[in-house]
Amino acid sequence: MNLPNLTRTSAFRLTLLYMTLFGASVLVLLGFISWSTIALIERQTDETIEAEIRGLAEQYRERGLFRLVAVIHDRSADHADQSNVYLLTDPTLGPIAGNLTNWPAETDAGGWVHLTLKKREDGKSVAHQIRARTFVLPGGYRLLVGRDTNEKDKFEETIKEAVNWSLALTFGFGLIGGVFISRRMLARVDRVSTTAQGIIAGDLARRIEISGSGDEFDRLAENLNAMLAQIERLMSGMRLATDSIAHDLRGPLTRLKGRIEMALRCPPETGQDREALADVLAQTDAALVVFDTLLKIATAEARTDAEDLETLDLASLAGNAAELYEPVAEEKGVALDVDTEGQARIRGQPQLLAQAIANLLDNAVKHTPAGGRITVTTGNRGNGVALAVADTGPGIPEADRARVLERFVRLEESRSTPGAGLGLSLVAAVAKLHDATVHLDDNNPGLRISVRFPADPRGDGVNGGAPEPDNRLN
Partner 1 sequence: MRILIIEDDRETADYLRKGLAENGHVVDHAPTGPQGLAMALESVYDALIVDRMLPGLDGLSVIQALRKEQLNTPVLILSALGQVNDRVRGLKAGGDDYLVKPFAFSELLARLEALGRRTSPEEKVVTTLRLADLEMNLLARTVTRARHPIELQPREFRLLEYLLRHAGQVVTRTMLLEGVWDYHFDPQTNVIDVHISRLRAKIDKGFDVPLLHTVRGAGYTLREPA
Residues that bind partner 1 (CB under 8 A): 278, 285, 288-289, 292, 295, 299, 304-305, 308, 320, 323-325, 327-328, 331, 349, 351-352, 354-355, 358, 362, 365-366, 418-419, 470
Q: Which is nearer to partner 1, 196 or 289 (CB)?
A: 289
Residue closer to partner 1 by CB (options 218, 273) is 273
**CB 308 to partner 1: min, Å:** 5
CB of 164 or CB of 417, closer to partner 1: 417
Nearer to partner 1, 322 or 455 (CB): 322
Least separation in angstroms between residue 439's CB and partner 1 is 23
**Minimum CB distance to partner 1, residue 24 (Å):** 58
Using only the alpha carbons of the chain, give its radius of gyration.
Answer: 50
Q: Return the H-helix or E-strand segment holding 290.
A: helix 273-302
User: Closest approach of Cβ 349 to partner 1, in Å?
Assistant: 7
Shortest distance in whole angstroms from residue 354 CB to partner 1: 6
CA quadruple 340, 451, 357, 397: dihedral sign: negative
Smaller CB distance to partner 1: residue 418 or 457? 418
By beta-carbon proximity to partner 1, the closer residue of 155 and 291 is: 291
The least CB distance from residue 473 to partner 1, in Å, is 9
Task: Work out how close the CB of 420 gets to partner 1 at its nearest, in angstroms, rounded to a whole number.
Answer: 9
Taking the least distance from each CB to partner 1, the nearer of 97 and 357 is: 357
Contact between 292 and 285 under an 8 Å Cβ cutoff? The reply is no
Q: Which is nearer to partner 1, 64 or 327 (CB)?
A: 327
Shortest Cβ distance from residue 267 to partner 1 (Å)? Answer: 25
User: What is the closest distance, in whole angstroms, from the C-beta atom of residue 367 to partner 1 in the complex?
Assistant: 12
Distance, CA of 387 to CA of 378 (rounded, Å): 4
Contact 455, 380 (CB under 8 A): yes
Residue type, 53: I
Task: Tell me how far apart the alpha carbons of residues 216 and 100 are, in angstroms, rounded to a whole number.
Answer: 72
Closer to partner 1 by Cβ: residue 159 or 324 = 324
Give min distance, CB of 242 to partner 1, in A: 18
Q: Where are the alpha helices (DSSP H) in 368-467?
A: 423-433
Question: What residues contact 417, with CB distance under 8 A and at least 6 apart?
Answer: 366, 367
| CB atoms inside a 10 Å sphere around CB 159 | 17
DSSP secondary structure of 98-138:
ES--S--S---TTSEEEEEEEEEETTEEEEEEEEEEEEEPT
Of the pair 241, 365, the CB lying nearest partner 1 is at 365
Give Cβ neighbours of residue 433 (< 8 Å, ≥ 6 apart): 300, 301, 303, 305, 306, 349, 352
Q: What is the amino acid identity at position 244? A: S
Judged by CB, which is closer to partner 1: 245, or 328?
328
DSSP 151-180: HHHHHHHHHHHHHHHHHHHHHHHHHHHHHH
Residue count (the chain): 474
**Strand order from edge to edge, sheet including 112-121:** 95-98, 84-89, 142-148, 124-136, 112-121
197 CB-side CA count, 13 A: 6
Residues facing residue 266 across a β-bridge: none
For 184, phi then psi, to 5°, come to -60, -45
Q: Quick check: 176 and 6 in contact, CB under 8 A?
A: no
Could you tell me the smallest distance in angstroms from the CB atom of residue 2 to partner 1?
Answer: 51
Name the residue nearer to partner 1 (CB basis): 320 or 437: 320
Rounded to the nearest 10°, the torsion over CA 41, 43, 47, 50 is 120
Q: How many CB atoms neighbour CB 261 within 10 A? A: 9
Question: Least distance (Å) from partner 1 to the CB of residue 300?
Answer: 10
The secondary structure element, H or E, covering residue 5 is helix 3-7
